[in-house]
Amino acid sequence: MIRIAICDDEKNMSDNIRAMVSSFFRRKNMEAVILQFSCGKELLDYDKNIDILFLDIQMKDMDGMETARRLRERRFQGFLIFITILKEMVFQSFEVQAYDYLLKPIDGKQFQKTMDRLLASIRNNGETNLLIQKGYESSIISFGDIIFCEIIDRKVYLHLLSSEVIDYYDRIEHLETKLDGRFFRCHRSFLINMQHLKSYKSATAYMEGGKEIPVSRLRSKEFSQVVLRYMKNRI
């Protein structure tokens, strides 16, 4: 059973989202528990697992962005979907690893598209891995565990969420063919995992763990487009 939370200080909007969520899962013949919260503090006081969270950004007292930051600090692992009237908030939402955002008033077709993708993500989560061969030893690394890949001379360095760095001999062009669409080559020496991008400004990609990755001038325009595309996941 999937547990879904809606946090919005506008009751009409919260009830509308609840109705859309309920209808979606009913059509999928899936059971879902739907919870509603009217403010960030109320949500933070809830101590059970949440799989999907719809969070309004513009709320009184504690706004949605601050609420999301506090949730992530507490190791919240659910899918976060922001509800907003401000499209430009898309870049800030990287900081808290938002899955997507929906603009008010919520369009039914866009909601359906987002939920279909999200459901597929839940079902397919963790199925992609990278096989690494070092001499007579081999390792399997989940794509999701890789923050970024760096090439120095002829050696690849995989920087992982665990803070471990795994190195082996390979060409970055060869590695690029093994990875999926969540990775982007922002520089001749770097491949970054868009899932772990915290923010992007001044030709620098700020990654989870604090690492700053340069974005080359030749790739900056394409990268900006990829950032937006990735957030909406319309590739």
Are 20 and 107 in contact by the 8 Å Cβ rule? The answer is no
Tokens representing 13 are: 């909007």
Instruction: Report whether pLDDT(29) > 60.
Output: yes
Q: Assign 29 to helix, strand or coil.
A: coil
Rounded to 5, what percent of the chain is helix, strand, coil? 35, 35, 30
Distance CA 124, CA 115 (A): 14
The pLDDT value recorded for residue 137 is 59
Q: How far is CA 212 from CA 60, 142, 174, 186, in A?
A: 33, 22, 24, 12
What local confidence, expressed as pLDDT, does residue 201 receive? Answer: 87
Q: Which fold has domain 2-124?
A: Rossmann fold (3.40.50)
Q: Which residues contact 79 (CB under 8 A, 6 or more apart)?
A: 51, 52, 53, 99, 118, 121, 122
For domain 129-232, give the CATH number.
2.40.50.1020
Domain coordinates in residue numbering, the chain: 2-124, 129-232
Length of the chain: 235
pLDDT at 230: 73
Sequence-separated (6 or more) residues with CB below 8 Å from residue 211: 147, 148, 159
Q: Decide: pTM greater than 0.75.
A: no
| 32, pLDDT greater than 90 | no
Inform me whether the pLDDT recorded for 205 exceeds 70: yes
**Of 198, 187, 172, 183, residue with least CA distance to 220:** 187
Q: How confident is the model at residue 123 (pLDDT cuts 50, 70, 90)?
A: low
**2-124 and 129-232: identical CATH topology:** no
Mean pLDDT score of the chain: 87
Contact 8, 56 (CB under 8 A): yes
Strand partners, 129: 142
Q: State pLDDT tens for residues 167-198.
A: 999 988 889 888 888 899 999 999 999 989 98
User: Does the pLDDT of residue 136 top 60, yes or no?
Assistant: no
User: Do the bridges between strand 2-7 and strand 165-169 make them parallel or antiparallel, or are there none, so unpaired?
Assistant: unpaired
Residue 43 has pLDDT above 70, yes or no: yes
Pairing state of beta strands 165-169 and 129-134?
A: unpaired
According to the model, what pLDDT value does residue 144 have? 86
CA-wise closest residue to 14 among 61, 64, 51? 64
Three-state DSSP class for 196?
A: helix
Compute the distance between CA of residue 142 and CA of residue 145 in angstroms, rounded to an integer: 5
* pLDDT(7) > 60: yes
CA distance 221 to 132: 32
